[in-house]
Amino acid sequence: MRTIKVKRVARKPSYTIGRIYCDGSRFCDSIEDQDRGLDDSMTLEQIQKVKVYGETAIPTGTYRIIMGDSPKFRNRAWFKKYGVVPRVQDVKGFDGVLIHPFNTAEESLGCIGPGENKVVGKVINSTKAYYRLMDEFFIPAWKAGDQIQLVVE
């Protein structure tokens, strides 16, 4: 089992900054929508009462990741490079959660964007961080047939 962890470190009114760890080693930073205190032990109804569409980070918890298609991003260069994208599975109240390049929470619908948090409220070099994450973690794990889990805390 391979593990990617997002440790949320800065919860702001319109975005959340985190640190990404791959198998325990610090890898890069992340950006997500606002953390509204959701966790995976909550019922779907509880999550839906708090969630604001397009402005809410996924609940904390542990999820399975598969490598899959993304019709929405199929024409993006970063998708074409690999032909797959990390898809977070079985997130209560959320559909289509991906790990993909973006710089601000406004560009996200619950997804996780890797990058470097060197500018307040955003990450930079997101595509570069994504390529590195794919080349060094996701693609090797996928090719080896390893299960991948995401831990959000």
pLDDT of residue 133: 98
Query: What end-to-end distance do the CA atoms of the chain give, in Å?
Result: 18
Cα 43–chain centre separation:
21
Closest by CA position to 113, among listed 9, 16, 2: 16
pTM for this model (two decimals): 0.96
pLDDT of residue 147: 98
- Looking at every residue in the chain, the average pLDDT score rounds to 97
The pLDDT-based confidence of 136 (bands split at 50, 70, 90) is very high
pLDDT of residue 134: 98
Q: pLDDT tens digit string along 63-120?
A: 999 999 999 999 999 999 999 999 999 999 999 999 999 999 999 999 999 999 999 9
Confirm if 112 and 130 have CB atoms less than 8 A apart: no
Q: How far apart are CA 123 and CA 61, in angstroms?
A: 23
Q: How far apart are CA 137 and CA 127, in angstroms?
A: 15
Percent of the chain topping pLDDT 90: 100
Q: How far apart are CA 105 and CA 111, in angstroms?
A: 9
pLDDT of residue 22: 98
Which residues are paired to 18 by β-bridges?
8, 30
pLDDT of residue 46: 98
- The residue behind tokens 């994504």 is 130
